[in-house]
Amino acid sequence: MTSTLTVELGERSYPILVGTDLLRDAECLARFVAGRQVCIVTNGTVAALYLRTLEAALARFAVDACVLPDGEQYKTLETYGKLIDHLMAHRHARTTTLIALGGGVIGDITGFAAATYQRGVAFVQVPTTLLALVDSSVGGKTAVNHPAGKNMIGAFHQPRAVIADLDTLATLPQREYLAGVAEIVKYGVIRDAAFFVWLERNVAALLSRDRDALNHAVITSCSIKAAVVGADEREDGLRAILNFGHTFGHAIETLTRYEYLHGESVAIGMVMAADTSMRCGMLDAGSARRIKTLIAAFGLPVVPPGNLTAAAMRSAMGVDKKVVDGRLRLVLTRGLGDAIVTDHFDQAALAATLAAQGRLCED
């Protein structure tokens, strides 16, 4: 059974389809192809698993594939340039459709290429990682990284659809699966306290990839993100709550040169954001501990690398898209399900969090 959610953006609204065997569903896929040309963008790891299946389902179209290197370290202007070179070499027109088959890196690069190639062409997100499925594939944020900061070069460009085939998660390595769970936890913290409680009660089910539990977690997460994006497409206000933990997490990624997966960095970042919220007097100590305990229960890291100094973290956080007129904004929480974006926070509290290391979220 396929579940359908909608990102409500007026004429640019689009569906999120969540189900099984969707990569083989030729009629479903064909609905979202703009013209006769299709370029499937993927990486070598995913191509070996799913490229032929998707090509077969799109056999009625003129299909070619661009296989990019795998890894966050390749989310660069150079890789983006290789994709543009491929589109030019294969004479893709303005009516072409790019299909992002892969995780968040592939989705972001493909979306950015779609936003800029011939001033904008259609694209479809086909996420194959849990993190991409519940987060980066939804909402139209596209980007590549700069050596000084993550996602600093990009554009808003909404897909025609997000087609999430849960069967692809069966081949996902456990580390990458858990990185996606981190983003699922985020939704409970920022928007849905009842969902957070459900996650606390279903750790074992999600760790074992129980299909019913996973389906509920995915649908709930995508529903929350779709509602937030529908209310604030370009992050003028509300949408920034989706970055809970990300300002800290992006700094960790940049400083460690992506030694940690995105979801792992966000997991640490959420604990740090909860700790800062607690030190600011916004969040009670019990709730801060619950956030840290749940993240740890999923086997995710909860403290930053010991070699990262407070000064280095603060400097890296300054190169963040949420900095406005030189003022750092943080996504903090006043309680489970109640996140806020603010630049009026206690600087001493932030300094204490950055210095705390392994003592985060302690009384």
351's tokens? 């300094």
Q: Of residues 141, 157, 292, 322, which has the active-site annotation?
A: 141
Angle between helical axes of 310-317 and 246-255 (0-180°, round to 10)? 110
Active site residue 246: yes
Q: Of residues 225, 290, 292, 322, which has the active-site annotation?
A: 225
Q: Of residues 72, 183, 253, 264, which has the active-site annotation?
A: 183
Q: Of residues 191, 239, 290, 321, which has the active-site annotation?
A: 239
Amino acid at 301: P
Q: Of residues 235, 253, 264, 321, which has the active-site annotation?
A: 235
Q: Of residues 11, 91, 119, 344, which has the active-site annotation?
A: 119
Active site residue 141: yes
Active site residue 12: no
Active site residue 334: no
Q: Of residues 92, 233, 243, 321, which has the active-site annotation?
A: 243
Active site residue 24: no
Phi, psi of 25, deg, nearest 5:
-85, 90
Q: Of residues 160, 262, 279, 322, which has the active-site annotation?
A: 262
Q: Of residues 92, 157, 186, 246, which has the active-site annotation?
A: 246
Active site residue 92: no
Active site residue 239: yes
Looking only at the bridges linking them, the beta strands covering 37-43 and 97-102 are parallel
Active site residue 119: yes
Alpha-carbon distance of 353 to 183, in angstroms, equals 21
Q: Of residues 250, 279, 290, 329, which has the active-site annotation?
A: 250
Give per-residue burial for 72-104: e unless 16+ CB within 10 Å, then b.
Answer: bebbbeebbebbbebbeeeebeeebbbbbbbbb
SS3 79: helix
Active site residue 225: yes
Amino acid at 239: R
Active site residue 243: yes
| Catalytic sites, residue numbers | 119, 141, 183, 225, 235, 239, 243, 246, 250, 262
